[in-house]
Amino acid sequence: MNLYLVRHGEAMGSELFPTRPLSQKGKADVFKIGKFLKEAGIKIDILWQSKKTRAVQTAQILAEIIKIDKQNIMERDDLFPNDPVNNLLKEIIKKEADHLMIVGHLPFLQKLSSLLLVNSEYKRLIDFSSGGVVCLRREGEEWHLVWEVIPELIFG
């Protein structure tokens, strides 16, 4: 199984925009990441997204570019920044999908990736950039970091 962890794109400040939608830079960065994933031949079977506006917008851009079937996109109540990761971990392990994408927030994504990689959510192993994507792969009972791409590494 490949697990793609995506941190939402750069969001507007909460002072003027309480729902924190994506900024223009955030939209452009997510578009670059989506184009990169499409050109790399990445296919996503299931996409789980946080219900926060910035994550919904990020997921919508990615789904449109890499052609994720709308019926395979699910908004979830357990992907907020400070939600516990243990319950989701159990669900990920049970999933039959070969390619699962989660669009969410910090510190949730850091905790989840650390729990998968070293069995402790308290180790900060990966710096998730806004709009970036990390690919983890499960082989047997072990998870491995395969790659990470951040918008700043993509030209165009």
Domains with residue ranges and CATH for the chain:
2-153 (3.40.50.1240)
Mean pLDDT of 123-152: 96
Given a cut of 80, whether residue 81 has pLDDT beyond it is yes
Q: What is the pTM of this model?
A: 0.96
**φ, ψ (nearest 5 deg) of residue 41:** 80, 20
Given a cut of 80, whether residue 78 has pLDDT beyond it is yes
Q: What is the pLDDT of residues 85-113, one digit of tens each?
A: 998 988 998 888 899 999 999 999 999 99
Between 23-32, 88-97, 102-111, 120-129, the lowest mean confidence (pLDDT) is in 88-97
The reported pLDDT for the residue numbered 101 is 98
The reported pLDDT for the residue numbered 93 is 87
Residue recorded with tokens 């308290």 = 122
The reported pLDDT for the residue numbered 138 is 96
Contact 126, 145 (CB under 8 A): yes
The tokens describing 139, both together, are 């082989």
When pLDDT is cut at 50, 70 and 90, the band that residue 156 belongs to is low
The reported pLDDT for the residue numbered 155 is 81
Number of Cβ within 10 Å of residue 96's Cβ equals 8
